[in-house]
Structure 1
């Protein structure tokens, strides 16, 4: 893990849902040789994500587990409500408006928010302003009309 400030990437969902976007981002994370921590705000939502990661595609799955389960430290992808990086993840995924918390030790943090939800949009804008004021290394990704991701800031 790095002592430098991580990159913090905002992903603005407008055309796709979290369930459509998250598996691809997690696949790319594992391809880099990184581990991932997915932080959610509610255990029932993490249970939904857990189920989805096993079944999102017929020909594969993403190896993962819940922080409350056995062998959390060994999981390549860990789903958690807490800020504790039990699996030594290099990538932190913030979903469902959960708290960002401390980012030290991560290479990259992803804040994924639903742009169709006004509360989530306002919270993301406030997070951006706060992080920008602290000189965080920020990037903003938005979907094109074709559904591809494009860096907008």
Structure 2
């Protein structure tokens, strides 16, 4: 089964947290797919990953760039895995079919938004009912704190 980590944003927006989480995954040699809310969001996240830190480099691509098989980080709004990634990163309240085909999944949601929090609870229950291994992290001013799992 897949290890699913739920990451509750409490101090910074997704745009600050996502690059740092992807940096860690990339440094660990993991290939990732980021499943975003739509095509415009994919391109906004792509621009973010190129510009968030002038001293960092996160190689990534999307359908506009092509060559998915060469991209360690693939940004998409489609439920796909064209770069043979083992890590799925869910943002914008997305869920994925075939969750069990991934080794690991990060579900990042805004814990300050009641609608997003409620939707994350639904995804949490679905992952639990699917037999996946669950971990729940809350963002602190010092980073991520494991709350359960």
Short-chain TM bin:
over 0.9
Aligned-residue Cα RMSD (Å) equals 1.2
2:135 aligned counterpart, secondary structure: strand
Q: Does 1:32 align with 2:37?
A: no
Tell me the equivalent position of 1:69: 65
> 4+ residue runs of structure 1 moved beyond 6 angstroms?
none
1:89 aligned counterpart, secondary structure: coil
Q: Does 1:20 align with 2:16?
A: yes
Give a deviation string over 1:39-83, Cα, whole Å, max 9, x none.
012111111100010011011221000134321221110001111
Distance 2:99 2:129 in 1: 16
If the length of structure 1 is used for normalisation, what is the TM-score? 0.91
- Equivalent pairs counted in the alignment come to 148
Give the gaps of 5 or more residues in structure 2. Answer: none
Q: 108, 131, 148: which is aligned to 2:143?
A: 148
Distance 2:128 2:147 in 1: 15
Give the gaps of 5 or more residues in structure 1. Answer: none
Q: Does 1:123 align with 2:119?
A: yes
2:17 aligned counterpart, secondary structure: helix
